[in-house]
Structure 1
């Protein structure tokens, strides 16, 4: 049977708790940040309301520590109703195949699973196409196809204000509220949309959920737009295993320059 996201598997992660010291640091940091950025947040809120109809804050469901679900806050950077097109866009899709390396339908069938007469498990969903995870990685090795984590640049759904606040990551500021609420930490692994988290329930992929969901982390300071999913998972898993107060401070210090890195949007 196909492996699916289920509560029993999630239960094994619920024993993980953020340390009191880290939680205290998160609260103090978030309060200071909200006080410092409150004038900027007010201006952004006004500009968003002036440019387009809709709420100032965009709320979505995300999966964080221990597969816990929570409401994730960002400044709205897209026109109202554009979320209906998200499934057709690549912005949140971690598993895009390079168009120059499109796989033929005949190649999508996993010979190993067919040989033993079982359904593929676990599976990935790539641009609406279902493929066995193990066979996908084998095809990548054979063909050298590149998989990228992609942000859609020049997306027509993004407002002018939205483009600016994304360029400098200002759309992330409301997440300090998530930190105060205990949903996220300042440093951790990025919380994922539900449909992405459902695909990451294998032992290889699930270690990332043993760390706090964070505003910034190893991936943010080391990644680029064309990073493969293996590289991202390695960084996420690495943080889950080596997280410490000193490492968190190092990540925070290295995060500041990334706000002005060319190519952010």
Structure 2
């Protein structure tokens, strides 16, 4: 049974029976195992990436941002910085090529040269394995929205937050650079929830590895 209550911050808070993926011990085991492997890879490539970021553009190594996770709970993610340090202040100067409640721009002038490589290889996402280890994210799930995006949600959009946000998911393996309609992303999220099974997570992980190796990256 699903019910919704509008909270004090004008967002919809859902009261639901947990999705099976949220309470699945196998999925959590896979998350812990995968995050440990990911953090080992992060340790191996950290210094070369950090040096490249610093040489290419002044500013911090990491980009930190507050996102919404399971049931709209806030958590903080970190990525390797792929944009100029004042990217948030310059966002208003970039045309949003997506429609709906998310932001995409193919030729975003804020992205650095090193940043484009990090994004095309998904190396910028490596620090989020820490969020997976903490249980704030999963290896497979939905794209974690920003606070600004969630503030625009209609009641039904909250259903996409009935599972943990993931490093990868249906959207990432279905041509994320080409999908520019939020409702398409939303439908893919519901598709994942309907199809979910531990083995389905594994299939999406293998598809993600293929997408990365084929350099079908984000922009």
The TM-score bracket by the shorter chain reads: 0.7 to 0.9
- Give the direction of change, closer, same or farther, for the CA distance of 1:8–1:161 in structure 2 (3 Å limit): closer
The alpha carbon displacement at 1:151 in A equals 3.3
- Give the direction of change, closer, same or farther, for the CA distance of 1:243–1:202 in structure 2 (3 Å limit): same
Matches within 5 A, 1:142-157: 151-157=104-110
The alpha carbon displacement at 1:157 in A equals 1.4
SS at the partner of 1:54?
coil
The alpha carbon displacement at 1:173 in A equals 0.7
Q: CA RMSD in A?
A: 2.6
The alpha carbon displacement at 1:25 in A equals 1.3
Aligned position for 2:13: 10
Q: Distance in 2 between matches of 1:224 and 1:157?
A: 20
1:95 maps to 2:104 = no
Q: Is the 8 A contact 1:189 1:214 kept in 2?
A: yes
Q: Which runs of 5+ in 2 are unaligned?
A: 1-5
- Give the direction of change, closer, same or farther, for the CA distance of 1:152–1:8 in structure 2 (3 Å limit): closer
- Give the direction of change, closer, same or farther, for the CA distance of 1:202–1:52 in structure 2 (3 Å limit): same
The alpha carbon displacement at 1:40 in A equals 1.6
1:212 maps to 2:216 = no
Matches within 5 A, 1:132-147: none
Q: Distance in 1 between matches of 2:131 and 2:72?
A: 16
Find the structure with the greater CA-based Rg: 1
The alpha carbon displacement at 1:8 in A equals 7.9
Residues paired across the two proteins, number: 210
- Give the direction of change, closer, same or farther, for the CA distance of 1:224–1:35 in structure 2 (3 Å limit): closer
Q: Using structure 2 for the length normalisation, give the TM-score.
A: 0.84
Aligned position for 2:66: 61
The alpha carbon displacement at 1:76 in A equals 0.5
The alpha carbon displacement at 1:42 in A equals 2.2
1:194 maps to 2:197 = no
Q: Distance in 2 between matches of 1:258 and 1:27?
A: 23
Q: Is the 8 A contact 2:98 2:104 kept in 1?
A: no
Q: Distance in 1 between matches of 2:209 and 2:217?
A: 15
Matches within 5 A, 1:165-176: 165-176=118-129
Aligned position for 1:116: none
Q: Is the 8 A contact 2:77 2:128 kept in 1?
A: yes
65-74 vs 16-25, which moves further? 16-25
Q: Which runs of 5+ in 1 are unaligned?
A: 97-123, 125-148
